[in-house]
């Protein structure tokens, strides 16, 4: 199970996040009253999907010993186009000497990353 502790103290809106082995900062941009010292919570959500996708593809390509030089994953979150629906736009660029069949397989594998699976299923937030 993953666990993160967030502490905001009196700073507007600088939040210290602590996992089992890392400490990092979330914040809001200056125009929203923050100090812009770190990514926003929404950016962290997009980053979770982007990084998980890239890591999953890299692991698979390494196991297959495919000549994948780079994986570039862009994720944006749209909460405005369809009221009540959150849309994750994920674009993946695969760089290397790969044929179309290999690229298609890697794109299939990209959807199998754990964060992609979590976000594709119903979510409950318990208090």
How far is it, in rounded angstroms, from Cα 42 to Cα 100? 33
For residue 106, pLDDT over 90 is answered with: yes
For residue 113, pLDDT over 90 is answered with: yes
Residues 6+ apart with CB under 8 A from 93: 70, 71, 72, 73
How far is it, in rounded angstroms, from Cα 25 to Cα 16? 5
Q: Give me the residues paired with residue 71 across strands.
A: 94
Short-list 114, 92, 115, 113, CA closest to 104:
92
Q: In the predicted model, what is the mean pLDDT of the chain?
A: 96
How far is it, in rounded angstroms, from Cα 89 to Cα 54? 15
- pTM assigned to the model: 0.93
Terminal-residue alpha carbon distance, the chain: 17
Token pair belonging to 115: 């964060």
Residue-wise pLDDT for 26-80, tens only, equals 999 999 999 999 999 999 999 999 999 999 999 999 999 999 999 999 999 999 9
Rounded to the nearest 10°, the torsion over CA 13, 16, 17, 22 is: 150
Q: Give me the residues paired with residue 16 across strands.
A: 7, 25
Q: What is the CATH number of domain 41-119?
A: 3.30.300.20
What is the structure's pLDDT at 11? 78
Domain ranges within the chain, ordered by starting residue: 1-38, 41-119
């Amino acid at each position: 199970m993953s666990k993160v502790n967030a502490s905001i103290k009196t700073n507007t809106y600088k939040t210290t996040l602590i996992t089992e082995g890392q400490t990092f900062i979330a914040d809001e941009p200056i125009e929203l009253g923050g100090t812009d010292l770190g990514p926003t919570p929404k950016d962290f959500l997009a980053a979770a999907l982007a990084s998980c996708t890239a890591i999953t593809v890299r692991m698979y390509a390494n196991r297959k010993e495919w000549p994948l030089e780079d994986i570039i994953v862009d994720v944006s979150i749209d909460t405005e186009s369809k009221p009540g629906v959150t849309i994750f736009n994920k674009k993946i660029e695969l760089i290397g000497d790969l044929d179309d069949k290999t690229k298609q397989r890697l794109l299939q594998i990209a959807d199998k990353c754990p964060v992609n699976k979590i976000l594709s299923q119903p979510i409950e937030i318990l208090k």
